[in-house]
A = this chain, B = another copy of it.
């Protein structure tokens, strides 16, 4: 997947460690699930903070061995990411589904808003998830690898639309910029308990489109 340039192969492999008991009903049954473990861990993170929670504690709280934890998550840092690879596929599909008449930045904006739509019941969880990823330094650092994969999805779409390769500068620049405003919108969302994520992303992307449409020196990113 993606250009060989920015891709860190380890990142992709580390994501889904050993998808235990994929479909075969033979053999010993799993003692728990990724999701269950995630919930247990999130509860501990909320109580003690991410750094102060050890893997031993998570495993103990989930009633499994420490060794087994690492069969569900390749690292403690991966806990908040859920099924991110699948999300990437969703985003890719959503972009592909955009009719060619829609301009590139519009298509990205629509896909982005769609992609980040969360059920009302899941909003609290998503907030905690993103709070961890974006505010815990170790997790933010770890996120680089995921973000690279995410940007590659954008870059590939832009490349396909503009007849370039994903590794070229314009696709890369746009992908980086889109990631940037997304992160900025998320930060804003985390700061404001009643903000609507979709709206923030929509506004943010419109401002980015403006920035791409006119030099920011003359029009400071405002929507006309």
A212 close to chain B: CB less than 8 A: yes
CB contact under 8 A between A104 and B216, given known A137-B145, A140-B144, A145-B140: yes
Whether the pair A174, B104 counts as a contact (CB closer than 8 A) is: no
Whether the pair B5, A162 counts as a contact (CB closer than 8 A) is: no
Assembled-state Cα–Cα distance A221/B170 (Å): 5
Chain B residues, CB < 8 A from A176 = 176-177, 179-181, 183
Chain B residues, CB < 8 A from A169 = 181, 184-185, 203-204, 207-208, 211, 221
Dominant SS among interface residues on chain A: helix
What would 5 more interface pairs be, CB under 8 Å, given A158-B216, A174-B177, A213-B214? Answer: A168-B221, A169-B208, A169-B221, A173-B181, A176-B180
6 contacts between A and B (CB under 8 A): A11-B137, A141-B144, A167-B184, A168-B184, A170-B207, A212-B212
